[in-house]
Structure 1
């Protein structure tokens, strides 16, 4: 895709602007990036603080087949994000300290380095998808009770512009794989970069806390949780807590 990059010194939210543009008929391939974001947000309404020097970017897609695209998209973006970070690592040892957490958080030694928020909408007959990505490049924000990391801990820190363009290259690469070959190779690539099979984890919901071990992904991208009683259940939503 021929991406059109727009850069802003400060925005409340790159995704809010990207969605507004989508609603007015903007074509796919818009990438909005802010060097400072004052009202960034993550999943479930969480705020995403931006101390500056980090990545805040939102991408606009208009998929032909929404259902297939949305199934694969969290994992496409996660693998692309991992590969973009790995691109700047000087050694394989540094890369080995990166890991994906279901469905699309990027971790460094168990601490969150980057996250993704996917939002969808419909304008008359045209559906849109906006993917907001925040990545700590220079330094992590200070958020009480949260363990965060930055790419600068294992690599020379790229500028947000350079990282954003490498990330979009990786996104294009993996979207092409999904369009050509479906979800299976995306699933395989995600599993190769994620917490290993058998890893102890818990699923925390609003009123539930279920412990077990990671047993892979099903064909719809749902996390498979092996319970202590031998049963395996699919997980659609919830916070993943790695032990």
Structure 2
């Protein structure tokens, strides 16, 4: 006698399962971008008391305006049929703690119509220093940290590790949860966030952090942090402390 195939987990069950996971934000939204499901991790990070404070509302209603508009634009892309996979983002929580995560979203389709979206954001953990490939990648990491402000060729990183490009990508993701390019972006954005608390111009900061021009810097910063460098500077005046 054969076992019957497992039934698909519905959104209510998935939400209940992920309520107990503190490093994953889970959500489902309808075709208008309103939350229908949100795990308790998301509720708490929004600084709200209960799930009912989130369900039925849009990102514009639960996030600060500049972040809400950015997330709403991302949702519109997904509701138009696009998938987002492991988008590197920085989230800033109500206690002003900043943390890196990877966000994935996909449309929910009924028949031939998009009826909503489902997504998760996973916090990035510390690199796995016990992984057998860690020591080999240490040279790559040191090189990126020393030269993030310069043009970096992925083939040069692979050569440094004695790996092919595909091997470098696979091993880097296993140890650091990011691709080498994502790690480079992270280093550049972190450096830019620190410099934006100083007196340098935004164009000078972008150049000093390895971006080809100010528009490329502004696009990448907004895609990663959620707001433009100019607006980030307004939120963090000259000499203010770095969120940790």
Q: Which is helix-richer, 1 or 2?
A: 2
- Rg (Cα) greater in structure: 2
Higher RCO structure, 1 or 2 (CA under 8 Å, sep 6+): 1
| Same fold (TM > 0.5) | no
TM-score by length of 1: 0.26
Q: Which is strand-richer, 1 or 2?
A: 1
